[in-house]
Amino acid sequence: MNTLENTKNQFQTRIGTVLVTGATGFIGHNLVRQLVKQGHRVFALVRKTSNVNLLKELGVSLIYGDITDSESLNKVLGRKIDIIFHCAALVDNTDKNKLYKINVEGTRNICNLALGLKVERMVYISSVAVVSGNLEVP
């Protein structure tokens, strides 16, 4: 077996239980599908207003919360999460305050959650769609 295959197999077996933010978005949903397909236990942090039908069909465990509300993230504490995949973001840059609250403060909340859970790894996933920053709003 080549080195790439060895690395891939080691990563797959080490992922374990994951938490995915942004699981109802394009990137997040496709990530969740692959994780479930590989046999990992997946929790998805979703807002109460999110359409979760596709996630339910995949057998994903839903946790209702909001990355901008650190209190709502307490629902995750006490669970055994090995890795967090953080895909949640706002791509509409018409409201700079909202953009900052979600993309900066929300990400900070997820980083603090990762510290509280003592996760092995946190993976931040983004796309070119969120690149709209300047010196005031990254």
Domains of the chain (ranges plus CATH)?
A: 17-128 (3.40.50.720)
Residue 136 — pLDDT band, cuts 50, 70, 90? low
Tokens of 122: 């946190």
Q: Please tell me which residue, 14 or 51, carries the higher pLDDT value.
A: 51
- CB atoms near residue 86 (< 10 Å): 24
Which pLDDT belongs to residue 18? 97
H helix runs in 1-138, sequence order: 3-15, 26-37, 53-58, 96-100, 106-117
d(CA 58, CA 110) in angstroms, rounded, equals 24
- Burial label, 82 (beta-carbon count in 10 A; 0-12, 13-18, 19+): middle
Q: Are 102 and 67 in contact (CB under 8 A)?
A: yes
**Model pTM?**
0.83
What mean pLDDT is predicted for residues 83-87? 97
pLDDT above 90 (res 1) = no
Query: Residue 91: its pLDDT value, please?
Result: 85
Q: What percent of the chain has pLDDT over 70?
A: 82
pLDDT of residue 129: 62
Q: In sequence order, which residues have a C-beta less than 8 Å from that of residue 93 and are 6 or more positions away? A: 99, 132, 137
